[in-house]
């Protein structure tokens, strides 16, 4: 039973094909530089003996329509040949589901219309995913398609966590509130952590830290999100690779008044030129750690600012939850950087968070427990797999809706 997952960006489409009966990846690929004359598609199929077969194509791809057609053609030649198991469904990652979407949703004409309307809330993220969905519906006719929202997991936030203290009209008419992101990742790692601890996720209180190029924190009570650091958009909260994180909103007005920046240009700077990149000129944590170790002042400060923001959120979410069973690290930095995990947890012994330095340094890529034997709070490293989570949610949604669904 095969499920194909798409993650469509403005100039790229990433995809992964899963065999869900064996929970394994049978093909993956990325199409980059859509809209340019030298777009490249790199496709990898996993063969029966476990080896990989790669196909690389470079040609002009003018839009998502052509891109999806190319991807379909490569899949038909390789992993989706006539003699392959049929494609059971397609799952699409969507950044923003607003307040409307609490669950993965099977796509029909009315769902697609509703998602298009959410473009106002996420102009930087949703339109590309919508283009991906529209073109996948055309390129793969007759295949059930599901949209999985990054915000859905956080739809359980109580009003006191999602409301901003602004006039009510902004909230009611313009949908200004906290939504939170990285929900697909949090859902996956919460289940994995429960498995590792041998407990049900409904019994667990977690502080989860998704630390990647985009970084966020979540307070999870009984397996359910009760607060998270990203806001109406993914710009808020922790310091990120290129996003500023929490900022006094008056800074924006100050900059608009005292520079010739337009609102769009300033938004782009706060999204793409800020965070670690703004602080030290680099956004790859590996480079920052190397430079900091070599005595580079900016890199050292970027490291300190990054860690400090995470610590503050751990303190805040400890107070929110009252009791914490585990602190969970995931994302490229959380999974791979023992020095970041060490510095984040340093000084938190008073909260019952005690890391074991040897276990932390030796933690394998498959994750593990890195707390000391006497630590009241577990500290776990859980590799996330957002694509697999989307594939699982897609399959469940299709199976749940098959009986009643009429194709649009």
Residue of closest CB approach to ligand AMP: 332
Q: Are 69 and 141 in contact (CB under 8 A)?
A: no
Map 346-388 to HEC letters: CCCHHHCECECHHHHHHCCCCCEECECCCCCEEEEECCCCHHH
Quick check: 391 and 88 in contact, CB under 8 A? no
Burial of 158 (0-12, 13-18, 19+ CB in 10 A): exposed
CA distances from 135 to 9, 67, 386 (A): 13, 9, 22
Minimum distance from residue 241 beta carbon to ligand AMP (Å)? 5
> Rounded distance, CA 152 to CA 120, Å?
18
Contact residues for ligand AMP, defined by CB under 6 A: 212-213, 241, 284-286, 331-333, 336-337
Q: How far is the CB of 347 from ligand AMP (least distance, A)?
A: 21
CB of 284 to ligand AMP, least distance (A): 4
Q: Report yes or no: 204 and 223 within 8 Å, Cβ to Cβ.
A: yes
**The length of the chain, given as a count of residues:** 408
Q: How far is the C-alpha of 110 from the C-alpha of 191, rounded, in Å? A: 32
CA distance 154 to 178: 9
Active-site residue (options: 49, 108, 120, 150): 150
CB of 221 to ligand AMP, least distance (A): 25
Lookup: tokens for 135: 């073109």
What the block records as the tokens of 144 is 């059930």
Nearer to ligand AMP, 25 or 324 (CB): 25
What's the closest the beta carbon of residue 276 comes to ligand AMP, in angstroms?
Answer: 8
Active-site residue flag, 49: no
Closer Cβ to ligand AMP, 66 or 337, answer by number? 337
Cβ nearer to ligand AMP, comparing 9 with 212: 212
Cβ-based nearer residue to ligand AMP, 129 or 336: 336
CB 227 within 8 A of CB 238: no
Residue (90 or 211) nearer to ligand AMP, CB? 211
- Shortest distance, CB of residue 135 to ligand AMP, whole angstroms? 25
Element (H, E) at 73: helix 64-77
- DSSP class of residue 119 equals G
Nearer to ligand AMP, 134 or 284 (CB): 284
Helix H or strand E segment including 320: helix 297-321
Please give the positions annotated as active site. Answer: 150
């Amino acid at each position: 039973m095969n499920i194909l997952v798409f993650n469509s960006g403005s100039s790229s489409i990433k995809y992964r094909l899963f065999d869900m009966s064996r929970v394994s990846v049978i093909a993956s690929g990325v199409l980059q530089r859509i809209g340019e004359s030298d777009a490249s598609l790199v496709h990898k199929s996993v063969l029966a003996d476990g080896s990989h077969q790669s196909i690389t194509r470079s040609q002009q791809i003018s839009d998502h329509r052509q891109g999806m057609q190319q991807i379909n053609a490569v899949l038909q030649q390789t992993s989706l040949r006539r003699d392959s198991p049929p494609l059971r469904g397609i799952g699409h990652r969507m950044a923003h589901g607003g307040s409307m979407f609490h669950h993965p949703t099977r796509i029909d004409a009315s769902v697609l219309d509703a998602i298009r309307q959410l473009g106002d809330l996420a102009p930087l993220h949703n339109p590309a995913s919508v283009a991906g969905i529209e073109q996948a519906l055309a390129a793969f006719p007759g295949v059930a398609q599901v949209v999985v929202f990054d915000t859905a997991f956080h739809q359980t936030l109580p009003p006191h966590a999602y409301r901003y203290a602004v006039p009510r009209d902004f909230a009611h008419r313009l949908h200004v509130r906290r939504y939170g992101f990285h929900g697909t990742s949090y859902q996956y790692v919460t289940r994995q952590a429960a498995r590792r601890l041998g407990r049900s996720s409904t019994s667990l209180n977690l502080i989860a830290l998704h630390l990647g190029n985009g970084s966020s924190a979540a307070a999870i009570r009984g397996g359910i999100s009760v607060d998270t650091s990203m806001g109406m958009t993914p710009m808020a909260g922790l310091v990120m690779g290129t996003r500023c994180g929490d900022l006094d909103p008056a800074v924006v007005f100050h900059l608009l008044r005292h520079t010739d920046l337009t609102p769009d240009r300033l938004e782009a700077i706060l999204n793409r030129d800020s965070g670690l990149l703004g602080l030290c000129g680099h956004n790859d944590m590996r480079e920052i750690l190397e430079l900091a170790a070599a005595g580079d002042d900016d890199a050292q400060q970027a490291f300190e600012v990054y860690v400090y923001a995470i610590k503050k959120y751990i303190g805040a979410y400890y107070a929110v939850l009252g009791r914490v069973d585990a602190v969970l690290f995931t994302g490229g930095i959380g999974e791979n950087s023992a020095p970041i995990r060490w510095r984040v947890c340093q000084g938190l012994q008073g909260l019952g968070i005690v890391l074991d330095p040897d276990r932390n340094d030796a933690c394998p890529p498959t994750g593990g427990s890195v707390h000391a034997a006497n630590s009241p709070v577990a500290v776990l490293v859980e590799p996330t797999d957002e694509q697999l989570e989307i594939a699982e949610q897609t399959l469940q949604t299709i199976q749940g809706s098959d009986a009643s669904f009429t194709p649009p």
